Structure 1
Amino acid sequence: MNKNFFLLCLLLCAFISKLACAQTSADHFQPAASNLSGVAYPKISGDNRVMVRLKAPDAAKVQVQGGDGLQKDPLDLVKDAEGNWNGTIPSAGPGFHYYWFVVDGVRVNDPGSDAYLGYGRPTSGIEIPAANEDFHLLQNVPHGVVREQWYHSEITGKWRRAFVYTPPGYDASPNKKYPVLYLLHGAGENERGWSMQGHMNAILDNLIAGKKATPMLVVMDNGYAVAKGDTTPTTNTRAEMVRRAATLEEVYLKEIIPVMEKTYRMLPGRENRAMAGLSMGGLQTMLIGVKHTDLFSHYGFFSGAVFDEILADPKTALNGALSDANAFSKRVKVLWFGAGSEEKPFTKMATDTRKKLEGLGIKSSYYESPGTFHEWHTWRRCLHEFAPLLFK
């Protein structure tokens, strides 16, 4: 046999073998890490396709649908002989996603996955592996604690709950005080979102262990506040979010901040307080935090819903907080915006808001999360980029 021909055959065999291995890896489906214990579906392949299954033998039509980055439009499932409806979502983005089934027109959760508050109701969630990213995963480092803090609000007439992250070593150093980040969730979610869907505790633990972030407390309170006696239905329209923010502002000033400073060891002063939020929480950070540079000095807007009308006249907006650009810039240490590259309305809002600020002579920073939409992996990345800038 010709020597060159023999070598060519060997190379061709090696290539075919490698290609077969790659295809096998891509086609190998495993149960999602977010599944309930012992549940086989949903399954995820090596190239992030998602195989779903729902047993509904009497149904006439079943679809699967999800939030940004997963399956925007309903996907029809196919029924097998055993009454299972099956289908494969062709390409899921990295990180956490909400999803649900539509059974004969009725939206139902997947019994194989845990449910999280999203879209204003308990909704199934799935965790898609993020290639070459582990900043949001638990690692073998010292861990902080997420504590549940209840308090009674005279303003709303109700008991309210916050989750509070205390950094590693908090209990071992009873005389040490810490700066604090007030971290707000988005519309349709609640105070559990940042620790459950967002993995903020793992993100902070890993940053602190790597000496990339200052040890800090993080307060995650409920972003909805209805004044006592207010019977107006709660919606997520622009006007309603702005109106409700006024009540939340009062709750922050008179209840949340005083309760947290009384309960936890916090360093005093505006230079030791930050506020940041995602989507609706970014809007609230603008309407509450930026209005009070006497209380805060670091601000983060993660896909912030800063509508055009909020800064229609930047010099008079927010009770004139931006009217003196030099004074504002001296008081504010961090003014940071972030968004996913694929959530175009929010990248535009960030760009437009920054241009208005620049027109006043106020500088800000911007980060764009590559390939992500209006979803939790965008906001995980935002927190990972933002937290190292605080309290330096």
Structure 2
Amino acid sequence: MNPKLRTHLLFLWAIVLVPILAWAQPPRGPLVVSPQVNADKSVTFRYLAPQAKAVELSAQFEKAPVAMTKDAQGVWSVTVGPVKPDIYPYSFRVNGITVMDPANVAFFPNERFKASLVDVPGDTPLIHAMRDVPHGSINYEYYPSMEGTTGSLVVYTPPGYDTNPKQKYPVYYLISGTTDTEETFFKVGKTNLILDNLIAEGKAKPMIIVMPYGNIAARIAEQKAGAKPADPTGRDNAEAVKRANDFATDLVSNVIPYVEKSYRAMPGRDNRAIGGFSRGGGQTLRTAFSHMDKFAWVCAYSSYLSPEEMERSYPSIASNPANTNKQLKLLWVSVGSDDFLYKGTVEFMDYLKAKQVNFKSLITDGGHTWMNVKTYVAATTPLLFQSQTPRP
């Protein structure tokens, strides 16, 4: 082909293609930075929505939604605070519809709506902050579970795990609440960073933490092309108890064997702890009390069992308190004073006290929040395995 003709044809193609490529690109609006944590601990939130009629901020540190204002570019914004340093979920309400913050990659893992997260740092680093200390690792694992399904785990291994292949470690099985996933203790609870910091300070024993998904029924339905079943309407009705027992079976029969085969986990009840938040706390208590041969350390965060269920399903716990106290190296119960489970949790504590079952407790301010959960994790993990010395 004539070189001049080839050049001419390429030029014509460029004229044709440039408008097509330009049309194919999504329109670009102004750069939106959100959230923006300011030096005075106030936080600015922004959301691009030129056609919206109303946008509000809904945040866990605010008692009610906060109206946002729109600028000439169609960016809605509001500055609130100062905000007490911590990690908080938030979202926007756009024309009455709740949405995540598209400018923010940090989100709250959940079976339903996934809120965005804002981290307001303290002037002194908080216990969950990223610090200049040795860090452990986070691993995603899949194991053979109930009814032929595949279960999922998030596993934390402590600093030094990969460099000292002869060292074995105790294991803390840590369970999230209703609608949470196996990622929530990691991404919202920052359990890995809490342990990194406590271990670096010499306050906690190096341990493996296993975070399973607590909704066995939902996973079975999903993997067998069924509809996700609704959550039980009560916390201690027959359906709730059945699902908790299914979880216990999966944990004891499938998760623990998988972990002890795949990781350098110390076997035996003295080297296993179990804990959980909300529904995960109920699963914790039911699993532990029905498998006293498996766990010596038990932590219930914002959760309880009713005296009626204790008498009906776990009578030996209270009928022989001396034996229970000998078996359990730690029974921990904690709750916030504004938690909707406060009354039931305090009733559970009173029951244990009346039956002379030893336990440690912590009642904090605040409600049923992951801010409190981080406090409970930081308070309990230094107590775990203190009589145990990891061995080669």
Q: Aligning the two structures, in what range does the TM-score lie when normalised by the shorter sequence? A: 0.7 to 0.9
Structure 2 residue aligned with 1:375: 369
For the residues of structure 2 that align with 1:187 and 1:390, how far apart are their CA atoms? Answer: 25
Which stretches in structure 2 are left out of the alignment for 5+ residues?
A: 1-30, 387-392
Distance 1:152 1:234 in 2: 24
2:133 to 141, 148, 152: 141
Q: Residue 97 and residue 108 in structure 1: after superposition, are their counterparts in 2 closer, same or farther (change >3 A)?
A: same
Local SS of the residue matching 1:287: helix
Alpha-carbon contact 1:98-1:118 (below 8 Å) kept: no
Task: Output the CA distance in 2 between the equivalents of 1:84 and 1:187.
Answer: 35
Corresponding residue number in structure 2 for 1:261: 260
Pick closer, same or farther for the CA change 1:139–1:41 going to 2, 3 Å.
same
Give the corresponding residue for 1:129.
Answer: 121
Q: CA deviation at 1:224?
A: 0.9
Instruction: Output aligned runs, 1:60-139, within 5 Å.
Output: 60-67=53-60, 70-90=61-81, 92-114=83-105, 115-118=107-110, 120-139=112-131
- Give CA-to-partner distance per residue, 1:52-92, whole Å, 9 cap, x none: 2211111112112123xx22422222222322222233453
Counterpart Cα distance in 2 of 1:232 and 1:80: 42
> How many angstroms apart in 2 are the aligned matches of 1:205 and 1:180?
15
Query: Whole-Å Cα distance in 1 between the matches of residues 32 and 192 of structure 2?
Result: 26
Q: Deviations over 1:199-253 (max 9, x none)?
A: 1111111111222111111101111101577867132632454332121111112
Cα deviation for residue 145 of structure 1 reads 1.0
Q: Distance in 2 between matches of 1:171 and 1:133?
A: 27
1:284 is matched with: 283
Deviation readout 1:14-37 (Å, 9 max, x if unpaired): xxxxxxxxxxxxxxxxxxxxxxxx
Taking the aligned partners of 1:131 and 1:365, their CA distance within structure 2 comes to 31
Whether 1:199 and 2:190 are equivalent positions in the alignment is yes
The equivalent of 2:14 in structure 1 is: none
Find out whether 1:345 has 2:340 as its counterpart: yes
Q: TM-score by structure 2 length?
A: 0.82
| Mapped contact 1:121–1:188 kept (Cα < 8 A) | no
Q: Structure 2: how far apart are the matches of 1:279 and 1:42?
A: 29
CA distance in 2 between counterparts of 1:174 and 1:213 reads: 20
- What does 1:281-360 correspond to in 2, within 5 Å? 281-304=280-303, 306=304, 310-312=306-308, 314-318=310-314, 320-341=316-337, 343-360=338-355
AA in 2 matched with 1:84: V
CA distance in 2, matches of 1:39, 1:282: 39
Q: Is the 8 A contact 2:171 2:265 kept in 1?
A: yes
Give 1:345's aligned amino acid.
F
- Give yes or no for contact 2:340–2:368 (8 Å, CA) kept in 1: no
1:366 to partner: Cα distance: 1.4
Q: CA deviation at 1:184?
A: 0.8
2:340–2:367: 8 Å Cα contact kept in structure 1? no
Give the greater-gyration-radius structure (CA). 2
Offset at 1:338?
2.2
Structure 1, unpaired ranges of 5+: 1-37
Out of 228, 233, 236, the residue aligned to residue 237 of structure 1 is: 233
SS of residue in 2 equivalent to 1:122: coil
Distance 1:331 1:129 in 2: 40
Q: CA deviation at 1:138?
A: 2.0
> What is the aligned counterpart of 1:55 among 42, 48, 57?
48
- 8 Å CA contact 2:70, 2:76 repeated in 1: yes
Counterpart CA distance in 1 for 2:258 and 2:348 is: 32
Instruction: Say if 1:181 and 1:216, in contact at 8 Å, map to a contact too.
Output: yes
Moved more, 229-238 or 208-217: 229-238
* 1:25 matched residue in structure 2: none
Q: How many residues are aligned here?
A: 347
Q: Distance in 1 between matches of 2:205 and 2:326?
A: 21
Distance 1:325 1:315, change over 3 A: farther
> Following the alignment from structure 2 to structure 1, what is the Cα–Cα distance between the partners of residues 240 and 100?
27
The alpha-carbon distance between structure 1 residues 62 and 231, as it changes in their structure 2 partners (threshold 3 A), is closer
